[in-house]
Copies of this chain bind each other. A is one copy, B any other.
């Protein structure tokens, strides 16, 4: 490296530092720091001189150095499954809004439902020393977080519970929501009801399935083989599952879709059929009102906001035992769930 250029103000890629500003303003380093941080104890005249130097040089405080010194980064990490999913967009935005209110920035990462990638992301965020972490887990074992939590990184799990660590959680009532949705179909006369959900590895998927079974049991209905399908939410698989349930000599007369992506595909399959098929989906979808799709709605923004507020309460010093919050869901009848059996 060219050592003679070390402190040059003009070298490309070498930003001016407080030292440069101090030299130019003819004051001490600490005085510049005081001006930059609006600390008291600086004469208006000195402040003006420093400010002029700052503007002239285009100085911008280096937060990396600040973070190193202060220990807090004023940033939080959010690890979710897929930022492109319409459920996570609003959630993420809600988290960001709360963070902003607390003067923090948000670093996002998508795990793509891959436990390894989740861990990789989370640890990268910890290495950055984010102040807090909101995680929508892909994996089911989070012991790797123990040293981080012990070291003081506040953590909140969202949408799905954490595995083998004791942390705050904010969940939706998947069980209750699914149970209500299936009971709704039963109340409209259905007895042969199919359930198409996400991979059984995912907590919400099994909770919703549990809700389905509970509603069927409540109504004294025996669930037949072939009425339940868990697996990826790829359109092809969902389509195959739906078509199988709707075909054959004794087809189901209604479908319960385990999440927004399943619902979308189910709507497409049903649209192609002549015989009407009732449908209730978990998660609301844009334009579902126009298509008359009955859904169990969960408020993604509320989930995100709640989680972020918990997180910042922790960061502000709350010390109570880890809490588990469960947010309610709402049934929104729009027609597809009120169709009688064909």
Query: Cβ of A128: which chain B residues have Cβ within 8 Å of it?
Result: 63-64, 75, 105
Surface stretch bound by B, among A90-98, A188-196, A201-209, A249-257: A90-98
Q: Residues of A within 8 Å of B, CB-based: how many?
A: 60
A75 to chain B, nearest CB (A): 7
Given known A88-B89, A110-B93, contact A62–B267 (CB-CB < 8 A): no
Contact B89 A86 (CB under 8 A): yes
Q: Are B89 and A147 in contact (CB under 8 A)?
A: no
CA distance A82 to B96 in the complex (A): 10
- The complex is assembled from copies of this chain, and their number is 2
A220 within 8 A of partner (CB): no
16 new A-B pairs (CB below 8 Å) besides A97-B110, A105-B125, A287-B288?
A58-B150, A58-B151, A60-B151, A63-B128, A68-B68, A83-B89, A83-B92, A83-B96, A84-B90, A86-B286, A92-B108, A96-B108, A96-B110, A105-B124, A108-B108, A268-B289
Is A129 interfacial (CB-CB < 8 Å)?
yes
Contact A58 B146, beta carbon cutoff 8 Å: yes
Could you tell me which A residues sit within 8 Å of B by CB distance?
12-15, 58, 60-65, 67-68, 73, 75, 82-86, 88-90, 92-94, 96-97, 100, 105-110, 123-129, 146-148, 150-152, 264, 267-268, 271, 285-291, 301
Set B62, B129, B152, B290: member contacting A271, Cβ < 8 A = B290
The smallest C-beta distance from A339 to any residue of chain B, in angstroms, reads 17
Contacts of A109 in B (CB 8 A): 96, 100, 105-106
CA distance A68 to B69 in the complex (A): 11
Q: How far is the CB of A12 from chain B (nearest CB, A)?
A: 6
What B residues does A100 contact at CB under 8 A? 109
B107 touches A64 (CB 8 A): no
**Nearest Cβ on chain B to A258's Cβ, whole angstroms:** 17
- The answer to whether A108 and B110 touch across the interface, beta carbons within 8 angstroms, is no
